[in-house]
Homo-oligomer: A and B are copies of this chain.
């Protein structure tokens, strides 16, 4: 992998080094569980001394969370302008865009999507929640609804559904893309418009 005799020590600007480490480390966490990757391995992959990881991120865990944070976030760019279409069509186009994104950036997004952590891993849960909230806001914006707290709570809930549907479609093949699109469109529409009785 990395040449055994790594190049001489290079001195980078802190911000640059931070990013470089995160990027160098990402593939490791994509492939293997948190506990299976040692600080030594992380440092080796980034081509730095072990101590530097603690220096920049505090702890191994914090680096992990940083990587997750940047892997989970739904890519926001390139959302088409849908303002002229009727609501149901706007929702459908948005869901279609999400499915395409999942297909493309997918591997890292869907597998992450799968879940937060459970029980005590509240730190990771927080990161996932934050990402879901972000996705909810993006979705509301895309379909042209106001960013009301109640609406956002509902959309946040559907984020979990989007992820699990994507897993059924992409990883298990138990749903077709069209089915996924139909189901998600109807559900999001339902969550976004159903009044409190």
Q: Footprint of B on A, CB under 8 Å?
A: 29-37, 61, 68, 71, 111-125, 128, 132, 149-150, 153-154, 156-161, 163-165, 167-168, 172, 174-176, 178-179, 182-183, 186-187, 190-191, 194, 196-197
Do residues B111 and A118 form an inter-chain contact, with CB atoms below 8 A? yes
Report the minimal beta-carbon distance from A66 to chain B, rounded to whole angstroms.
13
Nearest residue, chain B, Cβ from A176? B196
Do residues A117 and B115 form an inter-chain contact, with CB atoms below 8 A? yes
Cross-interface CB contact of A190 among B123, B132, B176, B190, cutoff 8 Å: B190
Do residues B183 and A197 form an inter-chain contact, with CB atoms below 8 A? no
List 27 interface pairs A-B (beta carbons < 8 Å), by A numbering: A31-B120, A33-B123, A34-B120, A34-B121, A36-B120, A37-B120, A71-B119, A111-B119, A114-B117, A115-B117, A115-B118, A116-B116, A116-B118, A117-B117, A117-B124, A118-B124, A118-B128, A154-B168, A154-B183, A157-B183, A160-B163, A161-B161, A161-B164, A161-B187, A176-B196, A179-B196, A187-B187
